[in-house]
A and B are shown apart, each in its own frame.
Chain A
Amino acid sequence: DTGVSQDPRHKITKRGQNVTFRCDPISEHNRLYWYRQTLGQGPEFLTYFQNEAQLEKSRLLSDRFSAERPKGSFSTLEIQRTEQGDSAMYLCASSRDTGELFFGEGSRLTVL
């Protein structure tokens, strides 16, 4: 396993700008997850894909957030019109059907 890869590792942006994060899961994993972690908190579930289908979205995922997994491989998470409250670590994880989640190292977003 080469592990879950996330890019960029750190993004600094100004309020109102759009940002996009990419996640490359472990190759044989069909499930992909996005979580958000703010300082002093545990990760919070955002959304989940099985292959290319987005099966669940958290209420935390406002209309400014969109996630895709077009070919059932890599995924992108886009945040439009960023706000300071969006500053967080965005974690991607992948798994097989009944296996544990393997997390990437995260993409840290700082909104100025």
Chain B
Amino acid sequence: AQSVTQPDIHITVSEGASLELRCNYSYGATPYLFWYVQSPGQGLQLLLKYFSGDTLVQGIKGFEAEFKRSQSSFNLRKPSVHWSDAAEYFCAVGAQSGGSNYKLTFGKGTLLTVNP
């Protein structure tokens, strides 16, 4: 069964600083990988996804993530954080079943606080 570990429950950064959120996954084959962001009381918004190909993927809002098969990792990065980035971030792995990714398994999330 697939699983996702987000080692950092809460991260605080200063506005303008760089950010890296860690994600490690467990899956028996090539995974589909996702990062979602969730603001308080809201649903989840997709930041970026990895299906295949280039291991460095670009997403919305200036985020990027790098798939490293050897480390089973898919860390999320942003060079300069804005106050509006404060939210909870979830990494997810999708099961490749019939070519779809219908059964996402999420990590427990990392809460990002941005100090002015």
Residues of A within 8 A of B (CB): 4, 6, 31, 33, 35, 40-45, 48, 56, 91, 93, 95, 97-98, 100-106, 108
Contacts and interface: CB of A to CB of B under 8 A. Distances in A.
Interface string B38-50: 0001111110010
A104 B103 contact: no
Contacts of A6: 43
Given A100-B49, A103-B44, A106-B43, A42 B90 contact: yes
A40 B90 CA distance: 11
B60 to A, nearest CB: 12
Contacts, number: 59
A105 B42 contact: yes
B43 A105 contact: yes
Interface string B97-116: 00111111111110000000
Contacts of B101: 95, 98, 100-101
Given A41-B109, A42-B109, A45-B104, A98 B99 contact: yes
* Interface SS majority for chain B: strand
B74 interface: no
Nearest to A58: B103
B103 A48 contact: yes
B25 interface: no
Nearest to B34: A100
Nearest to B111: A40
B102 A95 contact: yes
Nearest to A106: B43
A4 B4 CA distance: 25
A97 B99 contact: yes
Nearest to A96: B100
20 contacts: A31-B100, A31-B102, A35-B104, A42-B109, A43-B44, A44-B106, A45-B103, A45-B104, A45-B105, A56-B103, A91-B43, A95-B102, A98-B99, A101-B46, A101-B104, A103-B44, A104-B43, A105-B41, A106-B43, A108-B41
